[in-house]
Amino acid sequence: PDPTATTVPAEGATTTVAPTTTAPPTTTTQPSRRAITPAEPLDLFIAGDSMMQELGNGLLRIIPADLVDAELDYRVSTGLSRPDFFDWPQRLAEVVTQDPPEASVVFFGTNDNQNLSVDGNILQRGSAEWEAEYRSRVATVMDLLTQPGGTLTWVGLPVMRDQTLEQGVQIMNRVYAEEAAKRPLVTFVDTHALFSDANGQFAEYLPAADGSSAKMRQGDGIHLSIAGADRMANAAWATLASTWNLA
pLDDT, position 153: 98
* pLDDT of amino acid 66: 96
Q: 172: number of CA atoms within 13 Å, CB side?
A: 31
Distance CA(211)–CA(205), nearest Å, equals 12
- State yes or no: pLDDT of 220 exceeds 90: yes
Q: In the structure, what pLDDT confidence band is assigned to residue 1 with cuts at 50, 70 and 90?
A: very low
Q: Considering only CA atoms, which of 197, 205, 228, 246 is closest in space to residue 57?
A: 228
With a threshold of 0.85, does the pTM exceed it? yes
DSSP letter at 67?
A: T
Alpha helices in the chain (DSSP H): 50-62, 88-98, 128-146, 163-181, 226-243
The pLDDT of 64-82, averaged and rounded, is 97
The mean of the pLDDT values for the chain is: 89
Residue 30 banded pLDDT, cuts 50, 70, 90: low
177: number of Cβ within 10 Å: 23
C-alpha atoms less than 13 angstroms from C-alpha of 31 in its C-beta half-sphere? 9
- Bridge partners, residue 69, by sequence: 43
pLDDT, tens digit (0-9, with 9 covering 90-100), for 74-95: 999 999 999 999 999 999 999 9
Higher pLDDT, 28 or 195: 195
DSSP bridge partners of 68: 42
Could you tell me the CA-to-CA distances from 219 to 34, 119, 168, 199 in Å, in that order? 43, 37, 20, 21
Helix, strand, coil fractions of the chain, as percent rounded to 5:
35, 20, 45
pLDDT given at position 16: 32
